Structure 1
Amino acid sequence: MVDTSESRRDAGATAGTQSVDRALQVLLQIAESPPPGLTLAACSSILGYSKPTTLRILRTLEARQFLRYDEELGVYTLGVANVQLGSEYLDRLDLRAAALPSMRSLVEQTQETAHLGVLSGTDVVYIELVDSPHPVRVFSRVGASVPAYATAIGKAILAWTPDDTRLAHISRHLEPRTEHTIVTEAALASDLVATRERGFAIDNQENREGIRGFAAPVFDYEGRAIAAVSIAGPATRVLPESASELGARIVDTAAEISASMGAPRRAS
């Protein structure tokens, strides 16, 4: 015997799902349309729904402030609720959580240690890391800080920061960490220009003797460089001639993390 009450519930759930799907299609279509917005007729035509059905959806979204109706132009545009929803989403983004899967994949590909770091004053602070499986590897810890000018992560962030922030770092006293550390303003400025041109930064044993690394910037939803991801390993294993290959992997990884943080797509 068929349970008619359950059948009705299933039918209602299906109808409800279709209604939600239709509402989302309308919302996305209007979001992707050029100014000034879309008319009822345009929405109905594009989506293939009847005008009465489309109008019900539009009015529901308008009542919830996901859409706004311009009576003078007769078009629907996005409403303030989208801004509020987007703001809540962005406030909840967790950089470390967003980066970790991509960092693990990067370590699997390269077999070297991956770091995620942010600027704190004139230093870089490591906020996440994934160790290399090699017994001989870079040893770091979350929370450690190092001078930004002497690291690939620091230079990757600085290369994409506003001029005043970048100049504050360049104009400081640059103390040598190793014999390879960049210690003049002109040389650091030139290195940051080269970093932007190639898309990633290089730490050629500048922070620690015998350690070489590459890093690329991570951007947020406003297009700001908020962090950088790197790989680093013994200079005998991470060779200069591998810069192009490893740099490309770093750039791809940084782009994945940036996308997770809502960053706009950047021109290649």
Structure 2
Amino acid sequence: MVDTSANRPDAGGTTGTQSVDRALQVLLQIAESPPPGLTLAACSSILGYSKPTTLRILRTLEARQFLRFDEELGVYTLGVATVQLGSEYLHRLDLRRAALPAMRALVDETQETAHLGVLSGTDVVYIELVDSPHPVRVFSRVGAAVPAYATAIGKAILAWTPAEARTEHISHPLAARTPFTLRTDEALADDFIATRERGFAIDNQENREGIRGFAAPVFDFQGKVIAAVSIAGPSTRVMPEAAGELGARIVATAAEISASMGAPRSAA
């Protein structure tokens, strides 16, 4: 499509943008207001316009299905077009692309390796990673799959997965990957409870001996856990006493990624 904007009258100017801004302003106010919606008088007050002028804006938004007028209650609420736009935006979100800036910042802060992983059957698959700058670091690769029950990422996802759905993501028997691997359902269940209470999961050398990591869940726009992000390094550097500090950082990173995926603030 050829862009003809340069040929339009007043190209580069701001003619009419105030009306567009006011329309968007009232749309956002209605979205943020509690049910059932906003009256014409309330919208007029927000915009600072007269009721006739405000009504023209509202009717335009209604005609385009961005707003819906409830005849019985006399209020304006969001229309179906907002749902369509939101769904299309969320459909186009790329989890890896959304997570990468936050993961890079996490590695800059901690100097350890960051992973982003998702569940695939009974395994966790790494879909993104940012390496530590240290010469001695965790060796891993995108596409690698490891048992979910033995990793911080897997346990972070499973802890926020409904209990009735967890069993299909936990392989049995629980093979000992290291001497520290949790090998009973009871031990895992207790670990999931502790994970939710603290907000992040701990891999205490359970997948690879000599490697310790922390992971927190990532949520989508429905508040459903879809992935987890972790920080991991040699147990000689990533010490148990650092759990509080590194745990808080990984939780903040996961929250940042979740927000970029449209997650509600109350998701965690």
TM, length-normalised to structure 1: 0.93
Contact 1:201-1:216 at 8 Å conserved across structures: yes
Which residue number in structure 2 is paired with residue 150 of structure 1? 150
Match of 1:3 in 2: none
The equivalences for 1:38-49 within 5 A come to: 38-49=38-49
Match of 1:203 in 2: 203
Is the CA contact 2:148–2:170 (under 8 Å) kept in the aligned structure 1? Answer: no
Q: Give the Å deviation of 1:73.
A: 2.7
TM-score by length of 2: 0.93
Aligned twin of 1:261: 261
SS at match of 1:244: helix
Structure 1 residue 9, shift from structure 2 partner: 4.3
**8 A contact 1:170–1:189 mirrored in 2:** no
Segments of 5+ residues of structure 1 without an aligned counterpart are 1-5
- Aligned counterpart, 2:30: 30
Shift of 1:50: 1.4
Q: How many residues align?
A: 262
Q: Which residue of 2 aligns with 1:111?
A: 111
Q: Contact (CA 8 Å) 1:204, 1:211: kept in 2 or not?
A: yes
Amino acid in the other structure paired with 1:121: G
Tell me how far apart the structure 1 counterparts of residues 12 and 68 of structure 2 sit (CA, whole Å): 29
Match of 2:3 in 1: none
Give the distance between the partners of 1:189 and 1:105, measured in 2 at CA: 32
1:178/1:208 contact within 8 Å kept: yes
Q: CA deviation at 1:72?
A: 3.0
74-83 vs 163-172, which deviates more? 163-172
Query: What whole-Å deviation, never above 9, does each CA across 1:16-48 have from its counterpart, x for those lacking one?
Result: 211110110111111122222222122112221
Secondary structure of the 1:255 match is helix
Contact 1:117 1:125 in 2 (8 A): yes
Are the structure 2 counterparts of residues 164 and 52 from structure 1 closer, same or farther at C-alpha, using a change threshold of 3 Å? same
**What is residue 73 of structure 2 aligned with on the other side?**
73
Q: Which 4+ residue blocks in structure 1 deviate beyond 6 angstroms?
A: none
- 3-state DSSP of counterpart to 1:231: strand
Displacement of 1:76 = 1.4
Q: Which runs of 5+ in 2 are unaligned?
A: 1-5
Q: What residue in structure 1 maps to residue 160 of structure 2?
A: 160
Paired with 1:84 and 1:96, the residues of 2 have a C-alpha distance of 23
